[in-house]
Structure 1
Amino acid sequence: SALAEVPVNRMERMIKLTTQNPISLLVKFGIMAWNGTCVDNCSGHGECHNGTCLCEIQFDGPECHVPNLSYYIAFATIFFLLALVCLIQLVMCIVAEWQRMKAPSLLRACRVTTQKLLYFVVFLAAIIRGAYFTSPAAFEEGWSRSLMSAYYPLLLSGSSLVVCFWAEVFHLRDIRWEKPQFLSKSFLGFVTFNIITYSLLLAEFVTTRFANTTLEQK
């Protein structure tokens, strides 16, 4: 996790500095002070201004090599709260349908409707994004990176569902919307769009796995 990486990075940097020749180390810092440059170019995570690193918001420290924990904690909390709200709303929809039935059936209460699917899609997207901000280093390589990429197709699924729903509300006057239901005439377009989207995600996953396998064999 981000917390565990901080002391390791500091220790590695200290070992790197202490193993250098003292004279070359003094020359290095002397040139940096004279030129107004920064150590390791701010680790590639910021800009150097008069010898001081201005870090990107995701990083902290004098050399921009330490994760900004407040940034990651704040966004992880926001996304997990959003996931919790969506899960509660999804359960409330199922319970409401259960209570309206004369002969209650869990399978019928869980049938797909526009509202339920939207809550479920947003729940999955928020969980994936929250997991990323909890441990961003775990989503940098391999299948974890492809899992992180699933966040964007889920956003597209939710957006396309909203577009199809409102298109039917405005153009299909003969449909009554008092009862929970799913898409009707725009269902085929919604499914086709999502098949294309998730096919691209699957292709990315397969390509990533193939590339990793090739590198391991080499």
Structure 2
Amino acid sequence: MKKNVFLLIVAICMMGSFSLMAQETEKKKEIKDWMHAVAYKKDGTTFEGYLKNITPALYGSYHLPDASDSTMIFTKGNKLFERTTRIPNSEIDSMVTWYDDKPDLKFKWESRPANFAFGGSKPFVMEHPVMLLLLYKGKKVRGYLSSHPLYGFKYFFMLDDMPYAMAFMKPFQKFNERRRKTLLDTFYMYPEMEAYIKTLTKEEVKRNPFCVLKKLDEILLINN
């Protein structure tokens, strides 16, 4: 089930000492397997409901923000023909979500442009902002997770001066020399990262998927 895959990825990141950046929100309903959400709009208003974005995939449908979604669709409940509210991603600054059966585990999403192509490839930037799950927040670098119906889950990173978030790794992929080259191509603009990436081991990546972002953050702090 896609929900379980999503929670497993989050758990792996949390074991790597990365915190979910989410503020507390009062639990009001109990609907299993639907994402309860509060959207914080750029105009200062908020909207609360349940996400009704349903994305079909080869391994089943799921209720999660997806890169193909240009609009978040909310419902106040889970009735089949219940009235919905649509909010374009471009109007959303951030969003906090949780599952009612796990009210203490909250997720913060940010609406950002995103490039789903890995380094060295022709950029594949979505035409609309994408809801990215914030899993790492350093002093200079932020790390995210998002998914695409064709390309699956990917990890992203972004700095304040970047026009869009960039994909750098996929969850559950074995770290081999091909993946190492992808990282070298992705972080080529930071020469100090080269030696670190060349000595990176698959055990380090498995233990801490965002270890490269932590190293990049250290380098940027020293240089600035």
Settle same-fold status: TM greater than 0.5.
no
TM-score, with structure 2 as normaliser = 0.23
Which structure has the larger Rg over C-alpha atoms? Answer: 1
TM-score, with structure 1 as normaliser = 0.23
Q: Per residue, is there more strand in 1 or in 2?
A: 2
Q: Whose RCO is larger (CA < 8 A, sep 6+)? A: 2
Q: Per residue, is there more helix in 1 or in 2?
A: 1
